[in-house]
């Protein structure tokens, strides 16, 4: 119960100062905690809510950020920063019209604010682009692979890399790794070849791939890598490069935000092509068109290769499996569990992901890519503004009904790189350390041997060339918000 006494206000202000210190140290969860304590002591200061909104934006809890900014505006109708933060949060969850309204308010209240004018212009362009794409959208578009004649594409004599023939080779991958480290690209013919080969492989895999860990082998589960190529190479350096003894499962969100997303996607695809039975890819919520348009992958494909590259990747993403069942014990999927307790593994097996290419705003696919755990029992509205949250009782029932030990998921930053929740039944793994160059989190990955015991490994971010996150997110109000 809050009060408005001077003593409580002073105590709350002191907590806000601690929150500001945590925020300055990039400890976003700590900042949220201090701002929440301040609000619990004194809930009449709009800056407490506005500051918590900014910390929630850093945590990608955009739904919470919108709610906090809205509360700040209710307390002070002229609080420019709150309109600004609500606009950024709405942009992040693709509520572009709502964002546009708030950017217009900021420009009206501060007509000389150049940053606001720039963001308004970017948001207007984004809304026009979204509306245009909706207008030309057809129910069943032709395949981007239609008419793709790889044999007709010549690789000129000046190309200085290893040449790819009809099959992927370790030699080509080794050369590609070094080229990407040195800021070079591979020839567009090879890009097209790799994407087509992998699209064909994953298209024929079930919606839920079922794998066993053979004797004398290891399977490593990695979470989001988000275009952080040099940190991906650090995983391989520490844990071993993919081989028939060292399998990998990458649990979605390979691309967007980080500015080496094409490099990561092509490297993961090349390994999938080389060792399809030992290397697995689950789709994440960022392997989708609407996210790629806002968070950089579309722009990066066009900048480094061409628009055709993005369209091929887009179609291949929609062919990716949505889940992997490891040893009949661990369901691994990007987001989390469902709005209905009746959902079973068989429902996932039966899901036709090829008919519905994009996850949309509701349904099984959306929930598999977007939902998050919460500590409270039951289900609740999503802190992101998309999907929902599920409690420990939901996880317990799902695991018991389906004979599982746990659900392994990704989708959220964890400061330690991983977190075990819901009495051990819900495990989050996140593999992008120092996320977006601003969050002081570790990365992590999980190893499983034939006995299916989970071994957690943490790692730190490594240096990378001086290219900022979201470098290719053209016409997005999210540019430079990090």
Query: Which residue numbers are catalytic?
Result: 286
Enclosing H/E stretch for 444: strand 443-448
* 288 torsion bin: left (phi>0), alpha (psi -120 to 50), beta (else): beta
Q: How many of the other CB atoms lie within 10 Å of CB of 125? A: 14
d(CA 186, CA 305): 9
b/e 194-204 (16+ beta carbons within 10 angstroms → b) = bbbbbbebbee
d(CA 323, CA 368): 8
Cβ pair 63, 93 in contact under 8 A: yes
Going along 208-318, which residue ranges are E strands?
208-211, 218-222, 246-251, 279-282
d(CA 278, CA 260): 24
d(CA 235, CA 246): 12
| Residue found by looking up tokens 């929440």 in the block | 36
d(CA 104, CA 109): 9
């Amino acid at each position: 119960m809050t009060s408005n006494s001077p003593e409580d206000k002073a105590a709350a202000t002191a907590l806000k100062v601690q929150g500001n210190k945590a925020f300055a140290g990039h400890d976003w969860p700590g900042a949220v905690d201090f701002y929440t304590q301040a609000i619990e002591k004194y809930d009449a200061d709009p800056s407490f809510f506005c500051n918590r909104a900014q910390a929630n934006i850093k945590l990608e809890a955009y739904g919470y950020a919108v709610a906090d900014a809205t509360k700040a505006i209710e307390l002070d109708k002229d609080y420019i920063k709150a309109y600004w933060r609500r606009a950024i949060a709405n942009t992040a969850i693709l509520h572009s019209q709502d964002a546009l309204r708030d950017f217009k308010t900021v420009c009206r209240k501060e007509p000389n604010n150049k940053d606001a004018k720039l963001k308004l212009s970017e948001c207007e362009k984004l809304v026009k682009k979204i509306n245009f794409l909706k207008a030309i959208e057809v129910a069943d578009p032709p395949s981007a692979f239609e008419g793709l004649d790889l044999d007709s594409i010549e690789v000129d004599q000046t190309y200085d890399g290893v040449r790819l023939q009809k099959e992927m080779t370790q030699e080509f991958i080794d050369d590609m790794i070094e080229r990407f480290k040195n800021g070079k690209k591979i020839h567009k013919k090879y890009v097209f070849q790799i994407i087509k080969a992998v699209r064909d492989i994953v298209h024929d895999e079930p919606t839920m791939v079922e794998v066993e860990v053979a004797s004398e082998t290891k399977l490593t589960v990695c979470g989001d890598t988000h275009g952080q190529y040099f940190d991906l190479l650090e995983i391989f350096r520490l844990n071993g490069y993919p081989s028939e003894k060292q399998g990998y499962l990458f649990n979605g969100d390979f691309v967007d935000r980080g500015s080496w997303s094409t490099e990561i996607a092509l490297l993961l695809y090349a390994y999938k092509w080389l060792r399809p039975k030992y290397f697995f890819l689950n789709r994440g919520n960022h392997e989708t068109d609407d996210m790629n348009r806002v968070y950089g992958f579309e722009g990066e494909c066009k900048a480094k290769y061409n628009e055709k590259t993005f369209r091929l990747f887009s179609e291949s993403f929609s062919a990716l499996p949505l889940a992997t069942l490891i040893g009949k014990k661990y369901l691994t999927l990007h987001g989390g569990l469902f709005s209905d307790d009746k959902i079973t593994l068989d429902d996932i097996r039966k899901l036709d992901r090829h008919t519905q290419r994009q996850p949309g705003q509701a349904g099984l696919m959306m929930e598999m890519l977007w939902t998050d755990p919460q500590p409270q029992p039951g289900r609740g509205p999503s802190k992101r503004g998309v999907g929902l949250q599920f409690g420990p009782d939901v996880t317990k029932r799902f695991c018991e009904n389906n004979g599982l030990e746990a659900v392994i998921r990704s989708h959220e930053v964890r400061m330690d790189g991983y977190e075990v929740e819901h009495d051990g039944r819900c495990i989050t793994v996140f593999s992008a350390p120092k996320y977006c160059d601003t969050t002081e989190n570790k990365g992590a990955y999980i190893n499983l041997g034939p006995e299916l015991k989970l071994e957690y490994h943490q790692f730190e971010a490594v240096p990378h060339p001086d290219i900022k996150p979201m470098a290719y997110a053209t016409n997005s109000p999210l540019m430079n918000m990090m």
